[in-house]
């Protein structure tokens, strides 16, 4: 170790899930949610929701380099779930 670096501790970056890991976390969360059998939500495929949540979380991580990827993923999942269940129609979603 160079002398000018003695005593310096390497800084750890917050954990950021890899793209495949992120997709798996989001997919697992979406599958665990009960399926809606009526309304506009009944016609929305898991794959569509997965893509939108993954994009939301990825963009949040890219826009905020210091953010904890796991927390960003959980926030994105909760945000999408709330909107998906509470929006009266798909136009507003």
Q: Report yes or no: 23 and 70 within 8 Å, Cβ to Cβ.
A: no
| pLDDT tens per residue, range 1-41 | 555 655 555 554 444 456 689 999 999 999 999 989 999 99
Given pLDDT bands bounded at 50, 70 and 90, which one contains residue 61? very high
Q: Looking at residue 53, what is its pLDDT?
A: 97
Q: Which residue has the tokens 């979380």?
A: 57
Q: Looking at residue 6, what is its pLDDT?
A: 56
| pLDDT tens per residue, range 43-57 | 999 999 999 999 999
The pTM score is: 0.74
């Amino acid at each position: 170790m160079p002398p000018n670096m003695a005593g310096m501790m390497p800084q750890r970056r917050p954990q950021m899930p890899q793209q495949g890991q992120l997709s798996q976390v989001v997919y697992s969360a979406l599958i665990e949610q009960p399926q809606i059998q009526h309304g506009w939500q009944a016609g929305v495929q898991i794959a569509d929701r997965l893509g939108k949540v993954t994009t939301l979380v990825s963009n949040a991580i890219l826009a905020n380099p210091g953010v904890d990827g796991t927390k960003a993923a959980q926030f994105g999942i909760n945000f999408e779930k709330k909107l998906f269940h509470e929006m009266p129609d798909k136009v507003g979603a």
